[in-house]
Amino acid sequence: MTVSVFDYEAELSACAAGDRSAFLALYRHESPAMRALALAMLDDSDAADAVLHETFVLIWRNAAGYSPAIGTARAWIYSILRYRAAAHARQMRAEGRHPAEDTPLPQLALPADAPAGTVAGALASLPAPQLDALLQAYLHGGDPARIAARLDRTEPDIEASLNAALAHIDKAVCA
């Protein structure tokens, strides 16, 4: 059995050249996971759909601006999604609606035997306080003070947890 590997960089490069079929391939391949993340961040189906739409519009318009020097193509498209979702969350809070900030974090199915050198392996080996802080920052955004209030911890503790978690992941994956 052969395993197909999706080439995000090639698809983004083709999008930059105006290739609509590459854009469609990227959308079909990644939109279900991206929508799930937007939904986890916002806890609102309509807002998640809007964020997904805005994200893919921005990917299409800005594909030529992607450079491998800034990271992987997949990370680049997810950073667009995350920033759009964070903007929607701020707007929802300003309107008196509350995005997923108060909902519990999703349970991650991180296998204890995840391969070393992978993000899943690095996440699985994080202590719970570091993982909780990292998930709060990634899924719900906000500064360390807001995360500290959500987790009933101190701001310096959150900052230390985030720094330690990111250093651990960087060492585990990039070593």
Structure confidence by residue, pLDDT tens digits, 8-51: 999 999 999 999 999 999 999 999 989 988 888 887 889 999 99
Residue 53 has pLDDT above 50, yes or no: yes
Task: Tell me how far apart the alpha carbons of residues 150 and 101 are, in angstroms, rounded to a whole number.
Answer: 8
Task: Tell me how far apart the alpha carbons of residues 119 and 97 are, in angstroms, rounded to a whole number.
Answer: 33
Mean pLDDT, residues 114-124 taken together: 74
32-41, 59-68, 132-141: lowest mean pLDDT where? 132-141
Specify the CATH number of the domain 104-175: 1.10.10.10
- How is the chain split into domains, by residue range? 7-100, 104-175
Nearest to 48 by CA among 104, 8, 89: 89
Common-topology check for domains 7-100 and 104-175: no
User: Options 3.40.640.10, 1.10.1740.10, 1.10.3720.10, 3.30.360.10; which CATH number does 7-100 get?
Assistant: 1.10.1740.10
Task: Tell me how far apart the alpha carbons of residues 124 and 110 are, in angstroms, rounded to a whole number.
Answer: 6
What's the pTM?
0.63
Chain length of the chain: 175
